[in-house]
Amino acid sequence: MDKSRKLLDKLFARGREFLGVEYPILGGAMSWISEAQLVSTISNEGGFGVLAGGNMPIDLFKDEITRTLDKTDKPFGINLISIAPNFRKQLDHVLDIEFPFIIFAGGLPPRDAITRVKQTSSKMLCFAPTVGIAKRLIKLGVDALIIEGHEAGGHIGPVSTAVLAEQILPHAKEVPVFVAGGVGSGLLMIHYLMMGASGVQLGTRFAVAEESIAHPNFKQAFIKAASKDAMPTAQFDPRVPVIPVRSITNEGVKDFTTLQLGLIAQMERGTMTPREAGEKLEEFWIGGLRKAVIDGDIEHGSLMAGQSVGLVTEVISVKEVISDLIEQGIQEADRILGLVDIHD
């Protein structure tokens, strides 16, 4: 076991140093869920919490940062969605206070946002849903990548985490790379680390943690769901691109389909532009997530969840989620080292 622990320790080294935490395990930002309590708990337990800027009005956003700073003196990140209405105000604020870690979501961040972050001491992490975007982001000078695959919960890219890992991990040596999407246990975590990842990011498992403020109905829906229940939304008209959202199928998903078809009909009549239709679709999911997470309406709200929801069997604390990941990682390392008979 000693060798396995040492191996995991070595594999964690780069991510640990970059993030300044004991375990380079990120609690991925989840709108409405990743607030002060969950974020600070993840960081206090040695992981790296990420506050979700989401659609938060600026005053609430500032308060949430202050509340989190009151609950932890450990590092955490702030996630900004570049297509969210309050993105600019949120960005101005995090740059004003030179917040140490900024994570851009929602597609390639605007050029000027990258330039402005680079003029500060803040580190910038960006999502790479394809190998092409990963290369561009490295050229643009981001400090780290989060490669997020199709298995993840919430807005998803087109490529599976496994294939992204194969394409990117062996080559992207310039910056630390964290892997997100489908990581539900330490088993997969250690394999991505061995492939060259500096750490992993989990959302779905942390959404159900004891300290998550998500409504009990939301957590129970996750516990009941199988991996196959977490499906991406469909797109019906290329003029209104839908960034697919992976969520547990419910009445809300059907409502989204109806809305989409209705907007397409309005476009046909000339009473709506594709841009307006796209914005309406984005709004639907933002409001829909709140309905499920806060109000507990698991039929009509959005139950964003990754395929790893099939690995969620009970509500456990953040501390247990993290220690399970570590122990499972060590056990898997032990099994591998045993195969080549160098096990002590």
Ligand X SMILES: Cc1cc2nc3c(=O)[nH]c(=O)nc-3n(C[C@H](O)[C@H](O)[C@H](O)COP(=O)(O)O)c2cc1C
Give the residues lining the site for ligand X (CB under 6 A): 28-31, 33, 52, 54, 79, 81, 105, 148, 151-154, 180-183, 201-204, 207, 304-306, 308
Find all residues with CB under 8 Å of 223, minimum gap 6, and list them: 208, 312, 313, 314, 315
Three-state DSSP class for 230?
strand
- Residue 7 or 142 with smaller CB distance to ligand X: 142
Find all residues with CB under 8 Å of 200, minimum gap 6, and list them: 24, 25, 26, 178, 179, 180, 183, 188, 189, 192, 193
Q: Are the CB atoms for 229 and 250 separated by under 8 Å?
A: no
Find all residues with CB under 8 Å of 96, minimum gap 6, and list them: none
Query: Closest distance between ligand X and the C-beta of residue 82, in Å?
Result: 10
Query: Closest distance between ligand X and the C-beta of residue 306, in Å?
Result: 3
- Residue 252 or 306 with smaller CB distance to ligand X: 306
Q: Are the CB atoms for 129 and 148 separated by under 8 Å?
A: yes
Residue (of 314, 77, 331, 43) closest to 205 by Cα position? 314
Query: Closest distance between ligand X and the C-beta of residue 7, in Å?
Result: 24
Query: Closest distance between ligand X and the C-beta of residue 209, in Å?
Result: 12
First to last CA, the chain: 7
Query: Closest distance between ligand X and the C-beta of residue 34, in Å?
Result: 7
- Residue 93 or 334 with smaller CB distance to ligand X: 93
- Residue 4 or 198 with smaller CB distance to ligand X: 198
- Residue 86 or 308 with smaller CB distance to ligand X: 308
* Cα–Cα distance for residue pair 109/86, rounded to 1 Å: 14
Radius of gyration for the alpha carbons in the chain, expressed in angstroms and rounded: 20
Angle at alpha carbon of residue 167, lines to 34 and 193, rounded to 5°: 55
Query: Closest distance between ligand X and the C-beta of residue 201, in Å?
Result: 5
- Residue 159 or 305 with smaller CB distance to ligand X: 305
Query: Closest distance between ligand X and the C-beta of residue 235, in Å?
Result: 19
- Residue 64 or 334 with smaller CB distance to ligand X: 64
